[in-house]
Structure 1
Amino acid sequence: MTEVIASPCATHSQSCCGDTVTLDIAEHACEVLQNAPVNAEYRHMIVAAPAGAALAQPGQFFHLACPPGAAGTSFLRRPMSVYGADPLRRTVEFLYKVQGTGTQGLATLLPGDTLDALGPLGHGFELPENTRHVLLLARGVGLATLAPLAAHAIAQGARVTALLSARSHALVMSAERLSATGASVHIVTDEDGSSDAARVEAQLEALHAETPFDFLSTCGSNRLLLLLQRLGQAWRVAGQTAIEQHMGCGIGSCYACVRPFREHAGSDRLTFRRVCWDGPVFDLQETTSW
């Protein structure tokens, strides 16, 4: 069952990997097919979704109505990035950390239950034409946001290198999924010291020297954002980052998710944009730290 939501604009044009599609923003009643833990902190949810929802692009998100959980009721929807979307199977996937009231409620959903998902929302990643080598640099929940980009980039003929950062090897996620798509995967962790900023920078410099990157992407860590901005400037390579932000409506009406961005790369002037409507994916060099 799908109910179209009345909004300031009921459609969103989304470019991804050279193709432009117009997606309807709608409230979808999705059947939960799986909602299983992947480690001590994260769960992987798969839902059956209408065709419009399953066309979600890498970097887009859904605004989820969370059921009550042990910590109480979440009155606002929870923005959740798309971990996977398959228009043939008509499924959408989410990878989420069980942390606050909303996600604790999501963790209670069982196969056969219904998830109320508004979307797909926002603007996702846009790969330039003839992109040859994409870097994915992610930590924590950023692994969920960037994972779909790998398959899209590889389908367009690009090579993908993914550097995944986590507190421990037990919390590393998506490595097998990324490898299965054809990405080259590198793992760094806090527990062995390999995630130290200086060591990550040296590793990225070596990878770039071997096969230069021509598109950079990151999500999940302010420290990694700043590192990739510096390297992008030095290498003269463009990129994008996906931003996490608390939201109210998710469709640009309430302005609760406004944050500052540089007017353009290298500019000292700031502009203010809605993360839900203008993003959540933004130019790497225009994004300010948080």
Structure 2
Amino acid sequence: MNIQSCLPKGAGFSVAENKCRIVSNEAVNEEYRLLIAEADDVALSARAGQFFHLLCPSVGGEKPFLRRPMSIYRVDPEAGRIGFLYKVTGKGTRALSSLRPDDTIDAMGPLGQGFSLPSGVRNVLMVGRGVGLATLAPLARLATKSEAAVTAVLSARRRDLLMSRQELENAGARVIEVTDEEGTSQPETLEALLCDLHAQLPFDFAATCGSNRLFQLVRSLCAEWNIPGETALEAFMGCGTGMCYACVVPTMDANGKEQYRRVCWDGPVFPISEALGW
């Protein structure tokens, strides 16, 4: 069902209530799962950084009241499939983990503002942690299609929780992995690494998602290097379409004045100079 008429004006893209058949829903490590589903043309038009609002099934007496926002991890128009990488944390994601091949999920979307690469970008830095890697993965494909080089820094607590190396390398990105247990993910250590990479071949765009401390680091480096950047913010969402105002966060406008904006509608992707974290 197309719900375009129910949205606030100015979406600029098609949105529908997509009925998607589950192809697979498998664990990638002890915390995260990858759900792959067949999708129609509206869902397959999703852009890097956008998300879907998923209607979770009722399982074992648990009935999630609200949909769950889920960043798009993979869009494969040729195969007619989309993918979501998610962490099982509560009754909504537990319900999602119960889905099996040939089950159907209601995925409303695509929703939100995605990433926008400036014209002429040649060297992109991406820094992500945890489920933030799901949001950044499609950006790597967008950048390499624009003939830009991509360096993706993946952060996790432990090496066994690192994800998306193959996904990003398949997209043409250079991948660097850092972890807490190895002492390589600390902001001071990571800053030295990124500054060294920048000295070798300057980055001209940066993106980050999944960690407030990494956001603060990348935001600082963008200002120091005088380059544009974007970040995908996270928030609890009610409607996912900007109407309930449940996901507002403070941001900074061009004049340095603080203002509240909706993550689901004005974002989730914001210029890094305007975002204040979460």
Tell me the TM-score normalized by structure 1. 0.93
SS of the residue corresponding to residue 79 of structure 2 reads coil
SS of the residue corresponding to residue 162 of structure 1 reads strand
Q: Which residue of 1 aligns with 2:7?
A: 8
SS of the residue corresponding to residue 234 of structure 1 reads helix
The answer to whether 1:98 aligns with 2:91 is no
Distance in 2 between residues matched to 1:8 and 1:55, nearest whole Å: 17
Change (3 A) 1:129 1:281: same
Choose from 230, 233, 251 the match for 1:240: 230
Residue identity in the other structure for 1:255: Y
Distance in 1 between residues matched to 2:21 and 2:141, nearest whole Å: 25
Structure 2: runs of 5+ lacking an equivalent: none
Q: Is the 8 A contact 1:10 1:25 kept in 2?
A: no
Deviation at 1:133, TM superposition (A): 0.4
Aligned alpha-carbon RMSD (Å): 1.3
Q: Which residue of 1 aligns with 2:264?
A: 276
Residue identity in the other structure for 1:189: T
SS of the residue corresponding to residue 4 of structure 1 reads coil
Deviation at 1:72, TM superposition (A): 1.9
SS of the residue corresponding to residue 214 of structure 2 reads helix
Choose from 23, 33, 41 the match for 2:23: 33
Distance in 1 between residues matched to 2:60 and 2:151, nearest whole Å: 39
Change (3 A) 1:130 1:170: same
SS of the residue corresponding to residue 24 of structure 1 reads coil
Choose from 72, 93, 99 the match for 2:62: 72
Q: Is the 8 A contact 2:204 2:227 kept in 1?
A: yes
Once structures 1 and 2 are overlaid, which stretch shifts more, 85-94 or 228-237?
85-94
Matching of residues 1-290 of structure 1 within 5 Å: 3-5=1-3, 6-9=5-8, 12-13=11-12, 23-69=13-59, 72-264=62-254, 267=256, 269-290=257-278
SS of the residue corresponding to residue 170 of structure 2 reads helix
Q: Identity of aligned pairs, percent?
A: 50
Change (3 A) 1:216 1:71: farther
Residue identity in the other structure for 1:201: E
Residue identity in the other structure for 2:24: Q
Distance in 1 between residues matched to 2:198 and 2:65, nearest whole Å: 45
Deviation at 1:69, TM superposition (A): 3.6
What are the Cα deviations for residues 93-136 of structure 1, in whole angstroms up to 9, with x where unaligned?
A: 10000111110000000000001100000110000001000001
Tell me the TM-score normalized by structure 2. 0.97
Once structures 1 and 2 are overlaid, which stretch shifts more, 82-91 or 207-216?
82-91
SS of the residue corresponding to residue 224 of structure 1 reads helix
Residue identity in the other structure for 2:109: G
Q: Which residue of 2 aligns with 1:18?
A: none
Structure 1: runs of 5+ lacking an equivalent: 14-22
Once structures 1 and 2 are overlaid, which stretch shifts more, 80-89 or 126-135?
80-89
Deviation at 1:9, TM superposition (A): 3.9
Deviation at 1:71, TM superposition (A): 7.9
Change (3 A) 1:204 1:70: farther
